[in-house]
Structure formats: structure tokens, C-alpha cells
Chains A and B, each alone.
Chain A
């Protein structure tokens, strides 16, 4: 009984670590689980999508929940993990609302974050043996 509980605790701890790694570095969860091709695709595509969003003047939204959509967009932006913090630290993602590509940039940033969250869920499912 006790051994079973310990095994379950270890597995849930590993699952948390896997999800954190998968969120922080897109594709890391799949690489961890030995799904190299999938992991490499996510590792290249998601940060590229995020970088394009920044390059075409998209904005990393502030955590301002007085306007719920801005708050939700900020959460979606954060979904990409470490690239978000790197971009913030270097002052990218200020956004230029006058740019023709501003809305496209926002779409790239938000969707890159949301897709990475989907990838985290997929890695969790793979780990649990559901896929």
C-alpha cells in the first residue's frame, strides 16, 4: 500500500516536472519522452512563430485584468515559456499599434503561446500512456 503511494507520488512529481519543462522550452516534454521528431518540430516552429510575432511589431500584453481581454492575451503570451521572458528582458514586444502588421503580430504571439500549452497537454497525455 505504502509502496504504491510512493510510486504514485513519484509519477505525479515527474509529471509536474515534465509539464514545467514542456512549458518552459517548447518541445522539451516530447524530447524527454523520446519523441525526438515531434519535439524538434515544436522546438523550432513555436519559438519561430513567437519571433515572427515580435518582428512584425506584435505586443506582449501586460497583466491588466481591468480589461479581461488584455489579461487573457497576457496569459496566452506567457504560454510560450522561456522565450517570453527573454523577449521581455530584452525589451521586445512593446508593439506598434500604427504598424500594418500589428494585429497579425498579436495573433502570432498569442497563438504560439496557446499552441505550446496544447503541446504541454499532449506531452502529459503521452506520459500517462493515453497516446
Chain B
């Protein structure tokens, strides 16, 4: 498994899941909170990736 995007998504999934389960008690609230957090992780990573694209390493 060498795809950065897959690893990023996997990482975001695990962290969102744990935070959702800790923060909320109701299953529907957990799903909403976890989904929002997961989407936020992915969106932030992709936006930051594009913003950093013009800069050399």
C-alpha cells in the first residue's frame, strides 16, 4: 500500500471514527459528526495540496 491518497483517507477514517464515537452517544449523531470530520480532513488535505503545488520542495 503505497498510495498517499489511500493512506490519507484511511488515516482520516480512523481518526474521524474514534472522535465521533468519543464525542457522541447517538448513532445518527456519530455518523453525522464522523462524516463531517472525514470530509473536512479530505477537503483540507486536497486544498492544501493544491495550494502547495507551485512551491518547490
Contacts and interface: CB of A to CB of B under 8 A. Distances in A.
B14 A45 contact: yes
B21 interface: yes
B21 A41 contact: yes
Contacts of A42: 18, 21
28 contacts: A38-B21, A38-B22, A41-B21, A42-B18, A42-B21, A45-B18, A46-B18, A48-B14, A49-B14, A52-B10, A55-B1, A56-B1, A101-B1, A101-B2, A101-B7, A104-B4, A104-B11, A107-B11, A108-B11, A111-B11, A111-B14, A112-B14, A115-B15, A115-B18, A118-B18, A119-B18, A119-B22, A122-B22
**Interface range, A side:** 20 to 34
Interface residues of B, number: 12
Interface string A44-87: 01101100100110000000000000000000000000000000
A100 interface: yes
A45 B11 CA distance: 11
Interface in B8-32: 10-11, 14-15, 17-18, 21-22
Nearest to B10: A52
